[in-house]
Structure 1
Amino acid sequence: MHLLAACVLLSLAGQEVLGARILGLFPVAIKSHLTVTSPLMHALAKKGHDVTMFVPFNTGFNASNYREISWNAVPMTNQMNVLDFARVNILLKPFGFYFMGMSTTEAILETPEAKALWESDEKFDVIVTELFVNDALLAYVHKFKCPVVLISTFGTSSTINSIFGNPAPWSYVPSEFLSFSDRMTFAQRLQNTLVYIYGELVRKFFYIPRQQALVEKYLSGPDEKIPPLDEILRSADFILINSHPAFSTPRSYMPNMKNVAGMHLKPAKPLSVDLQRYFDSSKNGVILFSLGSAMKSVHIPEKPLRALKGAFQRLPYDVLWKWENDTMTNKPTNVRIGKWLPQNDILTHPNLKLFLTHGGISSMMETVYHGVPIVGIPILGDQQRNLICAREKGFSEMMELMEMTEDEIYDNIMKVASDPKYRENVKKVSAYWKDEMNNPLDEAVHWVEYVVRHGGGKHLKSVATEQSFVQYFLLDVGFTIMVLLILGFILIRAACRLLVCRRSSPEKSSKKDQLVTRKAQKKTN
């Protein structure tokens, strides 16, 4: 009896991480990113941990052991022209991406909330933060001297792979700045290699020095010198990745890299009476159209907007359009508009024919989870790559916003809505994702608690993170082998010459003797 009680107590002691103090740094002012990351922090609070969240907007969650430090940001997408940003060429794309990160990071560090957190004497057991062009905020990891769990809201990148020593061959892993699939042609592999090298050079010599300068400007003091940001970044213990082969391509991960795709998914709620009636009464079915939170439909340029309205008017289906104004000029008769739509709940209705979407990763996950086929209109970021992957898996067609015509829009919608193979394919992908899916939110909570329990995750890190570029790619070994081969070739060549010379020497001597003998005979005669 006593032995059983002792075993139970030991088991409980090994599992508990009661009251860990957790700091969540999620200052990126993009609502879709916060939608992915905030459920994890809310779940940690529900498990009894003391959670502090540094966020750009209030998330609406309340608990006695949960605190939000909100700096009331203007959404990042409101501060830039999304279409102009999307049209930047590949040479300027890294600079545009990094300039955006530098300006937003500086805006964060200037806030009284960021300064107050820096000057506080609080203690934390772990920091959970999103890695998204905000590297200067890693100084808080040095400040609080605790383990750090990173979150990537869109998959891996060259930087992430480097931090964790994760193998990501350029032959089949495309750069985050390109929209290639894993099946690249020779020309694409060549471009991918050059973009990887170019992107890394821009990051190392342009971006990181400027983020380091922000640290020196706002956080460093005479009594404290903050280490290089890359050094802090490489000390990261763990990363939670919002990705899965259902939306990406199969690739390897180190033990301290875990997919938790879908941790933001919630059970669908019943539709409002009005929306339920709208869907139920639709004779031929409904098309849902939304471009997410980054791109507002009211900002669609005139040409594609006219094409969309013309195509929708010809459809035999009703169209539910996320439109951010109360009215729409020349609205087609079969279109209903709404400033906000309960997307996750709508995707469960059986009378929904397809989802016309921008292809953001959160929308893709909701769509695949509920088994709804897609017609995609990518705008920026990873959206085109997401939709290319969906098209290759057979449940999507894709169009370019500025190039699509009325006929192309109509034909693609009719094709996906009427051909059952698209719905069958998305249900197959949904099935194999769900079949291997532990609850991703529970898994994310587990790994954060794991890092707290073990004081970090250094035991999971590959030695590859300690190797130089020369060591990792065996350039020193290759050089040594090449030198040995060259020396071997020189020695073999010298030996062959020596043998040839030795063989030819008796013959030459014999001929010389014969010539001397003949000359002597002539003199005698």
Structure 2
Amino acid sequence: MRLALFFALLGLINAAESYKILVFNPRYSQSLNNFLGNIADTLVDAGHNVTTLIPIINPHLRDGTHKSNTIYVQPNEEVNKFIEHMDFEEADFFDYNDFNMITSVPFGRDFMGWVNAECTGVLDEPGLVENLQAEKFDVMILENFETCGVALSHLIKPKSLITSAGSVPMGQQGTDLGMASALSYNPSAIISNLDVHSIWSRLWNLYAYFVFDVTWSTSRTEIDALFKARYGPNFPSEIGSQAAFSFVNSEPLIDFGTPTLSRVVPIGGINAKEPKKLEGEFDRIFNLRSKNVLISFGSIVQSHALPLQVKQNILKTVARFPDVTFLWKYEKPNDEFVKNATASTPNLHIQKWTPQNDILADKRLTAFISHGGMASTQETSLRGKPGLFVPFIGDQPRNAGMMQKNGLGKVYHKQDLYNADMFYAAVKDLLENESYYKNAAKIASMIAKKPFSSKELLVKTVEYAAQFGPSPALRPQSFDMSWIEYHNVDIIALFAGIVLIVAISALKVTTFVMKKVLRIVKLKEDQSITNYLANIADTLVEAGHNVTTVIPIVNPNLRDSTDKSIKIHVHPTEEVRKITESMDFEEADFFNYNDFNVFSGMPFGHSFTAWFNAQCEGVLDEPGLIERLRREKFDVMIVENFETCGVAISHLIKPKSLITTAGSVPMGQQGEDFGIESALSYNPNPLITHVDVHSIWSRAWNLYATAVFRAMWYTTRTEIDALFQRRYGPTFPSVYDIGSKAAFTFINREPLIDFATPILSRTICIGGIGAKEPKKLDKDLEHIFSLRNKTVLISFGSIVQSHALPMEVKKNILKAVARFPEITFLWKYERPEDAFAKSALASTPNLQMLKWTPQNDILADKRLHAFITHGGMASTQETAVRGKPGLFIPFLADQPRNSGMMEENGLGKVYHKQDLFDDEKFYAAVKDLIENESYHKNMAKIAAMIANKPFSSRDQLVKTVEFAAQFGPSAALRPQSFDMSWIEYHNVDIIAVLAVFSVIGAFVALKIASFVVTQLSSVVKFKLE
């Protein structure tokens, strides 16, 4: 009856003005209670109708929410049996060892058995699931270390599910969220430090990950079994993979730099509420001395339960600093140890409970001795206090390690608390090492001035998920892959034996073929990168900043695209002019160009790079330019690093911050330069439209495409490195090293239409930054658009010239146009005066041709019905922003991948350029484009989603640049992978060692088996005789 009344009242609460949100917050861990409770309360503060469902597992804990509606599920009989056998206050976590599977695995299984037992109680609660389903929640939020809520969401069916991790994703959580584990450089939860150059350290990290995985495996298996038993064998187990977003209680500015996804939103510090001023006893204690230290080991490890010798050693250390007050959170302040301690040590004060957040915010606090829980480390950094971190269990070692890595204190092993002198030395270092205080103050300032606060990220992401639901584009294909497919084990096994043969064969034919191809290569530069960087410059000018654009003129046929920044031109050198004069830009045959032909691709790439690099020398030779730029003391320098001259020059100019960018999806070595995981088992190479993750051949082709692309463009790095080391000495750093220290990386990528692939926290997606506010069409275009109800635009970009297409292809396009007399086709055709154009216009009344078209303005016009395009990054993004479906005909470079992502999201179709020779096939494709309503429906939704993103590309660009200008690069955002060799990164040395031991083990086992069989045979023979 009470439950029914509650749901009746719930439906009356402000339903029209707020979203309905359900937070699933089982009460079994105080830190997770607080994390989810703060999420709930923050959303209530934002005006939303939030209900928290609280299955009570541990009745000794308090609720984390104080503002949301609450529904309680009382402990069932099985949970109560667990509780009766547990002694929370006397648990010995000091001697507990996460690495000892003999104790850790039973502990994990018992603990999850207790937590999972309450899931049955939730399902058995009369009417609960049905009533929650009837509420039609917009969003359900849960923490998926405990997975009952994930399975429950499939029954409740909210519009959007948001999963979360209350700490760094642990065990299977990372897999559930779709994040790459990166175990060669990303420490496991129970590791505080990972030496990436040590095979043993990396091997230990793999073991730690394995132990943790096994320890907590039943958190998934038991829940899966429960729901399949209740609701049938087809009940899904991959529910979490369909989540709209995932919140992670991580602060990237203090964490290790590791791979993430666009749908993973870090909201670290969400637990840290506005601090209150200390009053009463706490205020009195902090006034006693000029320095104060807080000692607290959290809510799990009880100070009173520590070994007596450890407590005495802490006491000895406190006594050796009589001018410092130590406030110790000690849960039994009336026990015998405390009575003796306070009597003998006047600078020690004991409290059963401490308002940690308020104390850390007090300026009188000097330092913090802590267990390294996630909430404690985040509060410590947020309040600018250094710490001595003594991890005991769970994720505490990794949390402590990240604080040490960022110079915010030291990790201290708990077993070393038995050594009084060592502990004293550590505390002395904590109190006297000024670098900790300097670093802590800087980090606190950086967190306080982040481009977007954790609260903003939380609220706007939830509202976005409530409005639009989950986006398939944000879900990586890795969720659907087996372990063998994900790691390309089948490809490695298949090709291991033939690589040598292929290499030898290639070497024998290369010389002959290369000579044949070099004579027919024609080059052309495009306008897209120029436009992209110019839009960045002009956007920053509009935001009130003083922007200078250095423009080395490589291709004089292109226009400057920046209209608002100060411009410095470097004119072409003699060598650049010679290369330019030898090129025929307008007649280049990109229709027959094949990116996959390494023998044409490599000369193309190398020649193109030589053209770039020749102008780089011109920049260095420009009188006084480098010195002038260095004197300017720029706060930020922004460079696109497909061409890497600017990256190397940044080392000479020395801006406060370097920001690298990619004008498209990172291509070739760009991903490696940015520190981004390539994920080639499911992330299509730029030359690929789609990867069938279950096909070995499709994945192998993707690997081949990557190898081809890298071979084509590798001189973009090697020649620049050679040039600068020739000029400035052999110690001049490589462009890879310089770029690795960038503060941030901008990528011209829109996650809502891209393939879901790994990125980093310092990778900022600013897709659509080039789509300026559209203008009204001029009179000529207005007339064209008024001729018929529907208009289709045909444009193949700035590289592929329509007039240079094969005649048969142009005629087939014309045939298709003629078969739709009720539709106007506007074709961007660079030579409208040529014979074909005159004949076409005369014979086809519904065809219009223009030498140039204002594409952005045309795409924004409501009368445009569809777009036939080459699939350039700018064109695909403008198409999505303006909500127009497309037929995408890729020609070269990243166009195949761009086209593929549009088809993947139902925004049109990919059409192979060679199929333009088939007029019937092309007609059918155009007919489908015009008539298929699903394309228009999907496009309308995508356009709305992009327009209503939580944070626009412009906001992300401007605020990130301002943050970099103020603080410079953050070491925490730079992944250790930059410092690793290929062998270390892929753990090849570990694999080799394990392979050798496996072979030896198999050999020994075989010998033993052979010996045993021989002996048994002898015995049998003896008995028979």
TM-score range (shorter-chain normalised) is: 0.7 to 0.9
- C-alpha distance in 2 between matches for 1:79 and 1:306: 20
Contact 1:369 1:430 in 2 (8 A): yes
2:685 equivalent to 1:175: yes
Q: How far apart are the structure 1 equivalents of 2:748 and 2:679?
A: 20
Structure 1 distance, partners of 2:706, 2:694, is 15
What's the CA shift for 1:386?
1.7
C-alpha distance after superposition, 1:24-63 (max 9, x if no partner): xxxx953121222212112223333332212244335236
- Give the aligned CA root-mean-square deviation in angstroms: 3.5
Distance in 2, matches of 1:84 and 1:113, equals 38
Structure 1 contact 181–388 (Cα < 8 Å) conserved: no
Contact 1:263 1:439 in 2 (8 A): no
Moved more, 484-493 or 251-260: 484-493
Q: In structure 2, what is the Cα distance between the partners aligned to 1:246 and 1:383?
A: 18
Query: Is 1:285 matched up with 2:285?
Result: no
1:258 is aligned, of 764, 789, 795, to 764
Shift of 1:324: 2.3
1:40–1:88 distance in 2 versus 1, CA, 3 Å: closer
> Is the aligned partner of 1:413 residue 2:926?
yes
Instruction: Report what 2:858 is aligned to.
Output: 346
Alignment-derived partner of residue 383 in structure 1? 895
Structure 1 residues 345 and 497: CA distance shift in structure 2, 3 A: closer
Count of residue pairs brought into register by the alignment: 486
Q: CA–CA distance in 2 between the matches of 1:347 and 1:461?
A: 39
C-alpha separation in 2, matches of 1:308 and 1:196 = 32
Please say if 1:434 is aligned against 2:434.
no
The answer for the alignment partner of 1:142 in structure 2 is 651
Structure 2 CA distance, aligned partners of 1:409 and 1:501? Answer: 73
1:83 aligns with 2:590: yes
Determine whether 1:325 maps to 2:831.
Answer: yes
> What are the within-5 Å matches in structure 2 for residues 202-351 of structure 1?
208-216=717-725, 220-221=727-728, 226-279=732-785, 281-316=786-821, 317-327=823-833, 328-330=837-839, 331=841, 332-351=844-863
The answer for the alignment partner of 2:882 in structure 1 is 370
**Counterpart residue number, 1:97:** 605
After superposition, the C-alpha distances for 1:241-287 in whole angstroms (9 at most, x for unaligned) are 111234321112111112110112222222223422432x3234211
Contact conserved, 2:741 with 2:974, CA < 8 A, in 1?
A: no
**What percentage of aligned pairs have identical amino acids?**
22
Q: Which residue type is aligned with residue 186 of structure 1?
A: I
Q: Cα distance 1:13–1:438, how it changes in 2: closer, same or farther (>3 A)?
A: closer
Contact persistence 1:128–1:150 (CA under 8 A):
yes
Q: How does 1:420-459 map to 2 (within 5 A)?
A: 420-459=933-972
Question: Following TM superposition, by how much is the alpha carbon of 1:412 offset from its aligned partner in structure 2, in angstroms?
Answer: 2.0
> 1:69 — aligned with what?
569
CA distance in 2 between counterparts of 1:168 and 1:270 reads 42
Distance in 2 of aligned mates of 1:12 and 1:506: 78
**1:33 corresponding residue in structure 2:** 529
CA contact 2:777–2:858 (8 Å) conserved in 1: yes
Q: Which moved more, 1:292-301 or 1:78-87?
A: 78-87
- Please report how far the alpha carbon of residue 380 of structure 1 lies from its aligned counterpart in structure 2 after TM superposition: 1.5
CA distance in 1, matches of 2:862, 2:712: 48
**Cα offset for 1:355?**
0.9
Distance 1:503 1:381 in 2: 67
CA 1:340/1:418 → structure 2, altered by over 3 Å: closer, same or farther? same
Distance change (3 Å), C-alpha of 1:86 and 1:487: same
SS in 2 for 1:438: coil
Change (3 A) 1:231 1:80: farther
Structure 1 residues 509 and 278: alpha-carbon distance in aligned structure 2, compared to 1, 3 A threshold: closer
Partner Cα separation in structure 1 for residue 809 and residue 1020 of structure 2? 90
Amino acid across the alignment from 2:791: V
Could you say if the C-alpha distance between residues 94 and 84 of structure 1 is closer, same or farther in structure 2, counting changes exceeding 3 Å? farther
Task: Give, in angstroms, the shift of residue 495 of structure 1.
Answer: 5.4
Cα distance, 1:422 vs structure 2? 1.9
Shift of 1:431: 3.1
Report if the CA contact (8 A) 1:357-1:376 is conserved.
yes
Partner residue, 1:21: none
Shift, 1:197, TM fit: 4.6
Q: Could you tell me how far apart the structure 2 residues matched to 1:506 and 1:401 are?
A: 76
Tell me the secondary structure at the aligned position of residue 896 of structure 2: helix
- Alpha carbons of 1:437 and 1:80: their partners in 2 closer, same or farther (altered >3 Å)? farther
Q: Hey, what's the Cα distance between the residues in 1 that align with 2:584 and 2:627?
A: 30
Secondary structure of 2:669's aligned partner: helix
- Stretch deviating more after TM superposition (86-95 or 249-258): 86-95
- With 330-339 and 252-261 compared, the bigger mean Cα shift is at 330-339
Are 1:131 and 2:636 an aligned pair? no
| Structure 2 counterparts to residues 102-117 of structure 1, below 5 A | 102-110=610-618, 114=622, 116-117=624-625
Report the CA distance shift for 1:80/1:392 in structure 2 as closer, same or farther (over 3 A).
Answer: same
CA–CA distance in 1 between the matches of 2:927 and 2:615?
A: 46
Task: Give the drift of 1:221.
Answer: 4.6
Residue 161 of structure 1: which of 650, 657, 671 is its match?
671
The aligned counterpart of 2:993 is: 480
CA distance in 1, matches of 2:446, 2:734: 40
Change (3 A) 1:135 1:67: closer
Residue deviations 1:227-254, cap 9 Å, x none?
2333323333321111123432111211
How far does residue 116 in structure 1 lie from its aligned partner after superposition?
A: 4.4
Q: Displacement, 1:77? A: 8.4
Report the 3-state secondary structure (helix = DSSP H, G, I; strand = E; otherwise coil) of the residue aligned with 2:698.
Answer: helix
2-side partners of 1:272 and 1:361: how far apart?
26
1:212–1:228: 8 Å Cα contact kept in structure 2? yes
TM-score of the two chains, using structure 1 as the length reference: 0.81
Uncovered stretches (5+) of structure 1, i.e. residues with no partner: 4-9, 18-27, 515-525
Q: How far is the alpha carbon of 1:507 from its aligned partner?
A: 9.6
The aligned counterpart of 1:193 is 703
The gaps in structure 2 that reach 5 residues or longer are 1-276, 278-443, 452-523, 554-558
Deviation at 1:143, TM superposition (A): 0.7
The corresponding residue for 1:42 is 538
Shift of 1:173: 1.5
Matches of 2:924 and 2:850, distance apart in 1 = 25
The structure-2 alpha-carbon separation of the partners of 1:487 and 1:420, relative to structure 1 and needing over 3 Å to count, comes to closer
> Per the alignment, in what secondary structure is the counterpart of residue 226 of structure 1?
coil
SS at match of 2:681: coil
> Residue 34 of structure 1 aligns to which amino acid in structure 2?
T
Deviation at 1:291, TM superposition (A): 1.4
